[in-house]
Amino acid sequence: MYEQAKNFLLPLYQNITFPSNRPLLTLTYAQSIDCKIALKGKPLLLSGKESMAMTHRLRIIHDAILVGSGTACIDDPQLNARHIPLEEMNNQPQPVILDTHLNLPLSCRLLKNYATGQGKQPWIITSSSSSSTDKKMALEKAGAKIFTIQESATGRLAWKDVLGILSKEGIQSVMVEGGSSIIQSCLLSGFVDQLIVTIAPVYVGDQGITVSATTNLENVQYQTFGRDIVMAAHPVKS
């Protein structure tokens, strides 16, 4: 299972050109056959174990994994690579959360794992308006490293600034994993170098959330992983 993931991903990353002024950005997510990626306010497991192994392989070949505060609150993810061979376990990516208003709960697994030596120190990127709050101090005390940037006109954190911070910290590749708002804004940002989408053969129905963009794709490849189809492609830069 893991060998299949390696064989699929190796040529994609061997042939990719790293941008010179920012980290390489891979956007990855899973969607249902009716194009839903999430349920409002609830976790939704779409990937089967084979495509999940592919996602964990993808995590290990990036310097950082990034999710939004919504996913951090709803899914309470660990943002590490687990379904991988033992000898690769030490090579864990840097967990990063985009959290404009510092909503990350102090009880989350990312902070617990760090405190117990089972995970890397979580990095939180937040807006300068949240930079002198009690919550900031509490998160720092609980182990988080906090970076602040100016909010953009939309009230959110701008991808250019986020990638600038990661670059300064020595991150050369970042895998953006969700959730729906982050995927949507990342797709529209024009910074996506590689798109990897798992399509699971399930219907989610009207309660599901979709993402959309008008981006054209090139170098499109598909492979089945168990019951899922995984598509890898490069968005055409305008």
Ligand X SMILES: NC(=O)c1ccc[n+]([C@@H]2O[C@H](COP(=O)([O-])OP(=O)(O)OC[C@H]3O[C@@H](n4cnc5c(N)ncnc54)[C@H](OP(=O)(O)O)[C@@H]3O)[C@@H](O)[C@H]2O)c1
* Interface residue list for ligand X (CB under 6 A): 29-30, 37-39, 42-44, 46, 67-71, 74-75, 98, 100-101, 103, 156-157, 177-182, 185
User: What residues are paired with 197 via a beta bridge?
Assistant: 29, 231
Structure tokens at 186: 């990342």
Task: Show the DSSP H helices in the chain as ranges.
Answer: 2-14, 49-60, 69-74, 109-115, 134-141, 159-168, 180-189
In one-letter notation, the amino acid at residue 238 is: S
Q: Under DSSP, is residue 37 helix (H, G, I), strand (E, B) or coil? A: coil
Shortest distance, CB of residue 186 to ligand X, whole angstroms? 7
State the first-to-last Cα distance of the chain, in angstroms, to the nearest integer: 36
**Nearest approach, Cβ of residue 152 and ligand X (Å):** 7
Nearer to ligand X, 30 or 61 (CB): 30
Q: Which is nearer to ligand X, 56 or 156 (CB)?
A: 156
Quick one: 12 or 197, whose CB is closer to ligand X?
A: 197
Q: How far is the CB of 191 from ligand X (least distance, A)?
A: 11
CB of 157 to ligand X, least distance (A): 4
DSSP 3-state percent helix, strand, coil across the chain (nearest 5): 30, 25, 45
Please, which residue, 4 or 181, has the CB nearer to ligand X? 181
Question: Which of residues 61 and 211 has its CB atom nearest to ligand X in the complex?
Answer: 211
The CB-of-205 to ligand X minimum distance in angstroms stands at 15
Structure tokens at 141: 């005390």
| Residue in this structure with the two tokens 């993402």, named with its chain if needed | 211
